[in-house]
Amino acid sequence: MEYVAGGCLRTLLERERKFGQRRTTFYAACTVLAISYLHENGIIHRDLKPENLLLDSNGYIKLADFGLCKDGIGYGDRTRSLTGTYDYMAPEVLSRLPYSRSADWWSLGIVIFEMLVGDLPWMRPSIGVVCPKFLAEDAAILISGLLQLDPWMRLGSSEEDAGELMFHHFFRGIDWLALVQRKLQPPFIPEDVGLSDDGPCYEHLLLTPPSEGSLAIRKEIADAFGSFDYSAI
């Protein structure tokens, strides 16, 4: 994966605690497109969390860390391995029940709640998620739909998958085609989190060139590898 200059959402959340709805909507929309692409190709991510959502230099979200992905999972398919990060795992995953790609939408619901509230959601066994009163109605409805305890009733669980989310009122301000084409103005442009070569750590940095002897290759080694072409490696 190419270098992503803006760091991860976890770092931003630790610094700012939470985001406003406009910024959250933009990040959530980018994530919907990323998850939708995986699902269209029969892949579930299974580890969606702020640490795996990276911000590029233009302010767009990139989904990372595909080590726990499962392929061959289309609509109606199930898997049951216990995989992911505990706080973001759907209840059916934690219960070791067969689960579908809708487990990714549960994780997105947790992430959206965290971006808007600054904390993980509070769950009650009988009623599910408890949304704070300060949340906008469309945000509360979206989160409640994504954090539906019954995976068959969860937003995004139908064959439409991401289409159910894209037409939700929460995303009414998103031009999805413009987002795909990266024509929308992101709400935040990050600073490069990488090391700067003009910082104090580099003021007195001197590089010692290697001695001639250290670069020399003994004749017997050179002869042994004489027929090798590095470009074929």
Q: How far apart are the first and last CA of the chain?
A: 22
Confidence grade of residue 120 (pLDDT, cut at 50, 70, 90): very high
* DSSP secondary structure code for residue 118 in this structure: S
**What pLDDT, on the 0 to 100 scale, is given for residue 108?**
99
**How do residues 4-18 score in pLDDT, each as one tens digit?**
889 999 999 999 999
Statement: residue 230 has pLDDT above 50: no
Letter string b/e over residues 45-60, b meaning 16 or more CB atoms within 10 A of that residue's CB: bbbbbbbbbbbbeebb
Closest CA to 88 of 31, 123, 46, 136: 46
Statement: residue 132 has pLDDT above 90: yes
Statement: residue 127 has pLDDT above 50: yes
CA–CA distances in Å: residue 88 to residues 59, 195, 226: 24, 31, 55
Task: Report d(CA 20, CA 132) in Å as an integer.
Answer: 14
Task: Report d(CA 109, CA 148) in Å as an integer.
Answer: 9
Mean local confidence (pLDDT), 206-217: 62
Which residue bears the tokens 């995986």?
38
Confidence grade of residue 148 (pLDDT, cut at 50, 70, 90): very high
Give this prediction's pTM: 0.82
Q: Using an 8 Å Cβ cutoff, are 130 and 123 in contact?
A: yes
Listed in order, strand segments (DSSP E) in 38-139 are 43-44, 53-55, 61-63, 70-71, 122-124, 128-130
Confidence grade of residue 1 (pLDDT, cut at 50, 70, 90): confident
CA–CA distances in Å: residue 114 to residues 108, 121, 154: 10, 7, 19
Q: Active-site residues: which are they?
A: 47
Domain ranges across the chain: 9-180, 200-232
Closest CA to 52 of 33, 39, 65, 68: 65
**What pLDDT, on the 0 to 100 scale, is given for residue 221?**
67
**CATH architecture of the domain formed by 9-180:** Orthogonal Bundle (1.10)
**What pLDDT, on the 0 to 100 scale, is given for residue 232?**
40
